[in-house]
Amino acid sequence: MKTILITGSTSGIGLGIAREFAKTKQYNIVFNGLEPNGPEIAEGVGKEFGIQVMFSPANMMKPEELKKMVDDAIVKFGAIDILVNNAGIQHVSPIEDFPEDKWNAIIAINLTSVFHLTKAVWKGMKERKFGRIINIASAHGLVASEFKSAYVAAKHGIVGFTKTIALEGAPFNITANAICPGYVKTPLVEKQIADQAKAHQMSEADIVNKVMLYKQAVKEFVPVEVLGQLALFLASEGATTLTGTALPVDGGWNAQ
């Protein structure tokens, strides 16, 4: 059994990825997130698929909590083989009004936590000569949209970090890849629809059709299962030479 730690896995994309790994019954899963019912969500997936799970409420803004989460997981499962850096937040605002505390939180949660967690799992992966780091970036790791300065900066940062880690990990069979989804209908996006409606002064229906999906050639939200299946492949033993990439799953948004 391999062990996978997925940050922000008690909601949205992280939970979707966890469920795809759980279905294979080949992984212990370390869940994490700020949802108050996180322990029940983790336990529910464990029971549904008959696998071992753990839950940690570690806050991505607190490096000491991240280190403790990794240490606790290693005590319980012996190792972390796959790290999925997925936790993230968004704030939509024109630059002149962008609150400084939101900028700092987005950089800390969406980018700096990726550094701390990668550092914390690195030694063990290197020793075992196996590691898979999967970073959930975004189409916004490759292109920008207005009113998302902090998010776009953090996601471009993740893509650069992923490339660096891929180079450092190559001698030890540690791969690093970024998945760059287009729009996925999760609580994060539900909130954005409301925020963007305010920023653009448009109705919520128009935001979905004329702003969000306007940029995708495929006019559909990306299913979490597709991201989970891609993560499964990236995590597999055979995927050693697939490293240092930023893979768009964005309905053709980046083809334009």
Residue 86 binds ligand NAD, judged by CB under 6 A? yes
Question: Which residue has tokens 């020793």?
Answer: 127
Residue 87 binds ligand NAD, judged by CB under 6 A? yes
Given the complex with ligand NAD, which of 169 and 181 has the nearer CB atom? 181
Q: Please report, for residues 5, 23, 44, 118, 193, the alpha-carbon distance to residue 17 in angstroms, rounded to integers and kept in the order given.
A: 11, 10, 15, 19, 23
Q: 113-128 vs 63-77: helix axis angle to the nearest 10?
A: 30
Q: Would residue 252 be called left, alpha or beta, if left means φ above 0 and alpha means ψ between -120 and 50 degrees? A: left
Least spacing, CB of residue 14 vs ligand NAD, in Å:
6
Instruction: Identify the residue among 169, 183, 216, 231 touching ligand NAD (CB under 6 A).
Output: 183
Instruction: Identify the residue among 3, 4, 8, 248 touching ligand NAD (CB under 6 A).
Output: 8
Strand partners, 136: 179
Residue 22 binds ligand NAD, judged by CB under 6 A? no
Instruction: Identify the residue among 2, 23, 34, 200 touching ligand NAD (CB under 6 A).
Output: 34
Give the helix/strand (H/E) hosting 16: helix 12-24
Q: Would residue 84 be called left, alpha or beta, if left means φ above 0 and alpha means ψ between -120 and 50 degrees? A: beta
**Stretch near ligand NAD under the rule CB under 6 A, chosen from 75-83, 86-94, 142-150, 203-211:** 86-94
Residue 243 binds ligand NAD, judged by CB under 6 A? no
Residue-wise DSSP of 150-210: HHHHHHHHHHHHHHHHHHHHGGGTEEEEEEEE----SHHHHHHHHHHHHHHT--HHHIIII
**3/83 Cα distance (integer angstroms):** 9
Residue 184 binds ligand NAD, judged by CB under 6 A? yes
3-state secondary structure of 85: strand
Given the complex with ligand NAD, which of 59 and 175 has the nearer CB atom? 59
Instruction: Identify the residue among 74, 79, 143, 188 touching ligand NAD (CB under 6 A).
Output: 188
Active-site option among 27, 151, 183, 214: 151
Number of residues that bind ligand NAD (CB under 6 A): 27
151 in catalytic set: yes
Contacts with ligand NAD by CB under 6 A lie at 8, 10-14, 33-35, 59-61, 86-89, 109-110, 136, 138, 181, 183-184, 186-189
